[in-house]
Amino acid sequence: MASSDATLVQRLRADRSGDELRELYRRYAPELFGFATSALGDRELAEEVVQDVFAQLWRHANDYDKRRASVRTWLYAIARNRIIDAHRRAAVRPQRTDDENALDGVAEVDVALDQAVLRWQVTSALSRLSSQHREVIRLAHYGGLTMREIADKTGVPIGTVKSRTSYALRHLRLIFDEMDIER
Protein backbone atom coordinates (compact mmCIF):
# COMPACT_ATOMS: atom_id res chain seq x y z
CA MET A 1 0.00 0.00 0.00
CA ALA A 2 1.32 3.44 -0.92
CA SER A 3 2.47 5.62 1.96
CA SER A 4 0.54 8.79 2.67
CA ASP A 5 2.10 12.12 1.79
CA ALA A 6 2.45 13.02 5.46
CA THR A 7 4.24 9.74 6.20
CA LEU A 8 6.68 10.33 3.37
CA VAL A 9 7.47 13.81 4.69
CA GLN A 10 8.01 12.41 8.20
CA ARG A 11 10.46 9.86 6.85
CA LEU A 12 12.25 12.42 4.76
CA ARG A 13 14.63 13.64 7.45
CA ALA A 14 16.05 10.17 7.92
CA ASP A 15 15.94 9.34 4.23
CA ARG A 16 19.41 8.62 2.89
CA SER A 17 18.37 6.80 -0.25
CA GLY A 18 16.24 9.54 -1.76
CA ASP A 19 13.33 7.10 -2.15
CA GLU A 20 10.86 9.17 -0.10
CA LEU A 21 11.81 12.34 -1.93
CA ARG A 22 11.54 10.63 -5.30
CA GLU A 23 8.02 9.43 -4.46
CA LEU A 24 6.91 12.90 -3.38
CA TYR A 25 8.52 14.36 -6.49
CA ARG A 26 6.64 11.98 -8.76
CA ARG A 27 3.36 12.77 -7.04
CA TYR A 28 3.63 16.54 -7.12
CA ALA A 29 6.36 17.80 -9.44
CA PRO A 30 4.27 17.66 -12.64
CA GLU A 31 1.47 19.83 -11.30
CA LEU A 32 3.84 22.20 -9.52
CA PHE A 33 5.74 22.56 -12.77
CA GLY A 34 2.49 23.25 -14.63
CA PHE A 35 1.55 25.85 -12.05
CA ALA A 36 4.96 27.52 -12.17
CA THR A 37 5.07 27.50 -15.96
CA SER A 38 1.61 29.02 -16.09
CA ALA A 39 2.58 31.71 -13.56
CA LEU A 40 5.98 32.59 -14.95
CA GLY A 41 5.60 31.82 -18.65
CA ASP A 42 9.15 30.54 -18.63
CA ARG A 43 10.03 26.87 -18.59
CA GLU A 44 13.54 27.34 -17.22
CA LEU A 45 12.41 29.54 -14.34
CA ALA A 46 9.64 27.05 -13.62
CA GLU A 47 12.19 24.25 -13.35
CA GLU A 48 14.19 26.31 -10.87
CA VAL A 49 11.03 26.85 -8.82
CA VAL A 50 10.33 23.11 -8.74
CA GLN A 51 13.91 22.40 -7.66
CA ASP A 52 13.66 25.00 -4.91
CA VAL A 53 10.32 23.66 -3.69
CA PHE A 54 11.77 20.20 -3.15
CA ALA A 55 14.92 21.61 -1.57
CA GLN A 56 12.72 23.47 0.92
CA LEU A 57 10.69 20.33 1.43
CA TRP A 58 13.60 18.26 2.69
CA ARG A 59 15.25 21.10 4.58
CA HIS A 60 12.08 21.90 6.49
CA ALA A 61 10.47 18.49 6.65
CA ASN A 62 10.65 18.66 10.46
CA ASP A 63 8.51 21.79 10.45
CA TYR A 64 5.64 20.15 8.62
CA ASP A 65 2.50 19.76 10.72
CA LYS A 66 -0.20 17.71 9.03
CA ARG A 67 -2.86 19.23 11.32
CA ARG A 68 -2.25 22.63 9.76
CA ALA A 69 -2.24 21.77 6.07
CA SER A 70 -1.99 18.93 3.61
CA VAL A 71 1.37 18.28 1.99
CA ARG A 72 -0.08 19.48 -1.29
CA THR A 73 -1.18 22.78 0.23
CA TRP A 74 2.21 23.18 1.87
CA LEU A 75 4.04 22.55 -1.40
CA TYR A 76 1.86 25.04 -3.24
CA ALA A 77 2.56 27.63 -0.53
CA ILE A 78 6.30 27.12 -1.00
CA ALA A 79 5.93 27.28 -4.77
CA ARG A 80 3.88 30.45 -4.49
CA ASN A 81 6.67 32.14 -2.50
CA ARG A 82 9.31 30.97 -4.94
CA ILE A 83 7.30 32.27 -7.87
CA ILE A 84 6.97 35.64 -6.17
CA ASP A 85 10.75 35.64 -5.61
CA ALA A 86 11.31 34.78 -9.26
CA HIS A 87 8.94 37.54 -10.26
CA ARG A 88 10.81 40.06 -8.12
CA ARG A 89 14.11 39.00 -9.62
CA ALA A 90 12.64 39.33 -13.09
CA ALA A 91 11.31 42.79 -12.20
CA VAL A 92 14.83 44.15 -11.97
CA ARG A 93 15.60 42.81 -15.42
CA PRO A 94 14.15 44.30 -18.63
CA GLN A 95 10.46 43.47 -18.84
CA ARG A 96 9.18 41.01 -21.39
CA THR A 97 6.36 42.68 -23.22
CA ASP A 98 5.13 39.63 -25.08
CA ASP A 99 3.88 37.70 -22.08
CA GLU A 100 0.40 38.76 -21.15
CA ASN A 101 0.32 36.24 -18.30
CA ALA A 102 3.39 37.65 -16.57
CA LEU A 103 2.69 38.91 -13.06
CA ASP A 104 2.07 42.63 -13.07
CA GLY A 105 2.79 44.09 -9.66
CA VAL A 106 3.00 42.73 -6.14
CA ALA A 107 -0.53 43.81 -5.26
CA GLU A 108 -1.92 41.60 -7.98
CA VAL A 109 0.30 38.64 -7.30
CA ASP A 110 -2.20 36.61 -5.30
CA VAL A 111 -4.91 37.00 -7.90
CA ALA A 112 -2.46 36.27 -10.67
CA LEU A 113 -1.21 33.11 -8.95
CA ASP A 114 -4.76 31.87 -8.39
CA GLN A 115 -5.36 32.41 -12.09
CA ALA A 116 -2.15 30.55 -12.89
CA VAL A 117 -3.31 27.53 -10.89
CA LEU A 118 -6.66 27.68 -12.63
CA ARG A 119 -5.07 27.94 -16.09
CA TRP A 120 -2.93 24.93 -15.41
CA GLN A 121 -5.94 22.96 -14.14
CA VAL A 122 -8.05 23.85 -17.17
CA THR A 123 -5.22 22.91 -19.53
CA SER A 124 -4.73 19.67 -17.65
CA ALA A 125 -8.47 18.90 -17.70
CA LEU A 126 -8.67 19.48 -21.45
CA SER A 127 -5.76 17.12 -21.98
CA ARG A 128 -7.73 14.38 -20.24
CA LEU A 129 -10.61 14.54 -22.73
CA SER A 130 -10.70 12.25 -25.73
CA SER A 131 -9.43 13.79 -28.94
CA GLN A 132 -12.99 13.81 -30.35
CA HIS A 133 -14.31 15.70 -27.34
CA ARG A 134 -11.41 18.16 -27.41
CA GLU A 135 -12.00 18.72 -31.09
CA VAL A 136 -15.67 19.73 -30.76
CA ILE A 137 -14.82 22.08 -27.91
CA ARG A 138 -11.99 23.58 -29.92
CA LEU A 139 -14.18 24.15 -32.97
CA ALA A 140 -17.29 25.34 -31.12
CA HIS A 141 -15.82 27.39 -28.28
CA TYR A 142 -12.48 28.59 -29.58
CA GLY A 143 -13.35 28.49 -33.28
CA GLY A 144 -16.82 30.00 -32.87
CA LEU A 145 -18.44 27.49 -35.22
CA THR A 146 -22.03 26.37 -34.86
CA MET A 147 -22.97 22.70 -34.69
CA ARG A 148 -24.06 22.79 -38.32
CA GLU A 149 -20.80 24.37 -39.42
CA ILE A 150 -18.84 21.75 -37.49
CA ALA A 151 -20.87 18.98 -39.09
CA ASP A 152 -20.18 20.45 -42.54
CA LYS A 153 -16.50 20.88 -41.80
CA THR A 154 -15.90 17.44 -40.32
CA GLY A 155 -18.45 15.34 -42.20
CA VAL A 156 -19.85 14.04 -38.91
CA PRO A 157 -23.68 13.92 -38.69
CA ILE A 158 -25.04 16.97 -36.87
CA GLY A 159 -26.82 14.86 -34.27
CA THR A 160 -23.51 13.20 -33.41
CA VAL A 161 -21.77 16.56 -33.20
CA LYS A 162 -24.42 17.85 -30.79
CA SER A 163 -24.40 14.83 -28.52
CA ARG A 164 -20.59 14.71 -28.63
CA THR A 165 -20.48 18.34 -27.53
CA SER A 166 -22.85 17.70 -24.65
CA TYR A 167 -20.88 14.66 -23.52
CA ALA A 168 -17.61 16.58 -23.82
CA LEU A 169 -18.86 19.35 -21.55
CA ARG A 170 -20.33 16.87 -19.11
CA HIS A 171 -17.02 15.02 -18.94
CA LEU A 172 -15.16 18.28 -18.48
CA ARG A 173 -17.50 19.19 -15.63
CA LEU A 174 -16.72 15.87 -13.93
CA ILE A 175 -12.97 16.40 -14.30
CA PHE A 176 -13.29 19.90 -12.85
CA ASP A 177 -15.31 18.47 -9.96
CA GLU A 178 -12.53 15.95 -9.30
CA MET A 179 -10.04 18.81 -9.28
CA ASP A 180 -12.35 20.84 -7.07
CA ILE A 181 -12.38 23.69 -9.58
CA GLU A 182 -14.93 26.44 -9.46
CA ARG A 183 -14.86 30.10 -10.17
Partner 1 sequence: MSGCRSHAEQVGPYVLGALEPDEMDEMRGHLAECARCAAEVRSLAELPALLDLVQADAEVAVLSPRLEDEVLDRFVRERARSAPRRRRWPRLAIPAVAVAALLAALLVVIVPGDTNTAYAHAELWSLPAGGGAEGTADVAKVTGGTRVKLRADHLPVTNGRTYELWCVRNDGRWINGGRFYAQPDGTAAAELTARVKPGEYHVVVITRRSDRGMRGAEVMRGKLNY
Q: Does 18 bind partner 1 (CB under 8 A)?
A: yes
**Helix, coil or strand: residue 61:** helix
Alpha carbon 41 to chain centroid, angstroms: 13
Give min distance, CB of 104 to partner 1, in A: 16
Query: Which residues 6+ apart lie within 8 Å of 124 measured at CB?
Result: 31, 34, 179
- Minimum CB separation of residue 66 from partner 1 in Å reads 22
Per-residue contact flags (x/-) with partner 1 for residues 105 to 124, judged by CB under 8 A = ----------x--xxx-xxx
Taking the least distance from each CB to partner 1, the nearer of 1 and 100 is 100
Burial 145-161 (b: 16+ CB within 10 A, else e): bebeebbeeeeeeeeeb
* Cβ 114 to partner 1 shortest distance, Å: 11
Nearest to 35 by CA among 53, 22, 58: 53
In the region spanning residues 41 to 80, those forming contacts with partner 1, defined by CB under 8 A, are: 43-44, 46-47, 50-51, 54-55, 58-59
Q: Does 93 bind partner 1 (CB under 8 A)?
A: no
Which residues between 127 and 166 bind partner 1 (CB under 8 A)?
127, 137-138, 140-143, 145-148, 150, 159, 162-163, 165-166
Q: Which pairs with CB-CB distance under 8 Å and at least 24 residues apart come from 163-170?
A: 164/132, 164/133, 164/136, 165/136, 165/137, 165/140, 167/133, 168/129, 168/132, 168/133, 168/134, 168/136, 168/137, 169/137
Q: Footprint of partner 1 on this chain (CB under 8 A)?
A: 16-18, 21-22, 25-26, 29-30, 33-34, 37-38, 43-44, 46-47, 50-51, 54-55, 58-59, 115, 118-120, 122-124, 126-127, 137-138, 140-143, 145-148, 150, 159, 162-163, 165-170, 172-173, 176, 181-183
